[in-house]
Amino acid sequence: MKNILEAPFMVEMIRTCTNMYDHGWDERNGGNISLLLSEEELAPYLDLKNVIRTLKTGFEAPALEGKYFLVTGTGKYFKNVQYAPDVNLGIVRIADGGQSAELLWGFTDGGRFTSEFPAHMMSHMARLAVDPENRVVEHCHPTNLLAMTFVHTLDEKAFTKSLWQMCTECVVVFPDGVGVLPWMLCGTNEIGQATADKMKDQRLVVWAQHGLYGAGKTLDEAFGLIETAEKAAEIYMKIAHLPRINTITDEQMKLLADYFGYKVREGYLDC
Ligand code: 2HA
Ligand code: ZN
């Protein structure tokens, strides 16, 4: 067997956790990531018949039966992933229609997957239904986006447009917009389902006064989405209290989307 710590997906996962921590988005045990892996990717590194433990999930996810995920652990710190990946990360295979997850590697201190596993798995199902290449769900607590949910209306169109107006590239990076959930109890199946419902037609979902979910084909793509939205929120928080003399107009955003070949969410641009 090859050394799993040298597998490209593992190296990238560790780098992403470290990078997100370094951005200040994952204080303490904040944030969680899940990465869908194929059997072919895993087979050189793991005996897939060797189930270490079986963990109950508390929800159903029939569409994910037999699928493999590399996922961060509950209570674990992103800061520490690079020093002890086998303690802070785990690889599971979804079984029993989603009601259990077979641990194949990691969580060596007896741990289990993130408390936000429902939101991750339900979001994977929602994204895979519209984009079979989606592989990543990332959750974190980006400072400025969180701040923005205290001072900006949570209306999705208004929230999205405020972000789009902050940097020229935003409308082409997330033309589907940003979903926004009101404050809800985290870790539950309810917030998981509500997040997944938003994920059906957009890849970013804000949890008011909590954080952000991003999805993508790669760790980089999901990270880049979060990074772009957070940059926009940072600019918003810098200027929200100042008179605004200039802006990016709806016409300019339409021009951008047309030029780069993106379809902007229906009804969001007034032109
Ligand atoms: O895992 O971020 O939402 C810690 C969290 C919960
Ligand atoms: Zn969180």
Question: How many domains does the chain fold into?
Answer: 2
Q: What is the rounded distance in angstroms from the CA atom of residue 31 to the CA atom of residue 68?
A: 20
Q: Which atom of ligand 1 is nearest to the CA of 72?
A: 1
User: For position 221, what pLDDT does the model report?
Assistant: 98
Identify the active-site residue in 27, 102, 116, 133.
116
Ligand located closest to 119 CA: 1
User: For position 185, what pLDDT does the model report?
Assistant: 98
Question: pLDDT confidence of 191, banded at 50, 70, 90?
Answer: very high
Kindly calculate the radius of gyration of the chain based on its CA atoms and give it in whole angstroms. 19
99 and 164 co-located in one domain: no
Q: What is the rounded distance in angstroms from the CA atom of residue 58 to the CA atom of residue 118?
A: 8
User: For position 21, what pLDDT does the model report?
Assistant: 98
224 and 127 co-located in one domain: yes
User: For position 23, what pLDDT does the model report?
Assistant: 98
Closest among 120, 124, 96, 94 to 192, alpha carbons compared? 120
197-204 CB contacts, 8 Å cutoff, 24+ apart: 197/126, 199/123, 199/126, 199/127, 200/126, 200/129, 200/130, 201/130, 201/176, 201/265, 202/174, 202/176, 202/177, 202/178, 202/265, 203/127, 203/174, 203/176, 204/174, 204/177, 204/178, 204/179, 204/229
247 and 123 co-located in one domain: yes
Q: What is the rounded distance in angstroms from the CA atom of residue 102 to the CA atom of residue 37?
A: 14
Query: Which one of 71, 86, 114 terminates a domain?
Result: 114
Query: Which one of 114, 134, 150 terminates a domain?
Result: 114
Question: pLDDT confidence of 25, banded at 50, 70, 90?
Answer: very high
Order of strands across the sheet that contains 136-140? 53-56, 100-106, 89-95, 68-72, 32-37, 136-140, 211-216, 204-207, 178-181
User: For position 188, what pLDDT does the model report?
Assistant: 98
Q: How far is the CA of 50 from the centre of ligand 2 (A)?
A: 31
Per the annotation, the verdict on 116 as an active-site residue is yes
Pocket test for ligand 1, best of 27, 33, 116, 137 (most atoms within 8 A of CB): 116
Q: Report the pLDDT averaged over residues 215-227.
A: 98
Structural domain includes residue 193: yes
133 and 159 co-located in one domain: yes
Question: pLDDT confidence of 263, banded at 50, 70, 90?
Answer: very high
Structural domain includes residue 271: no
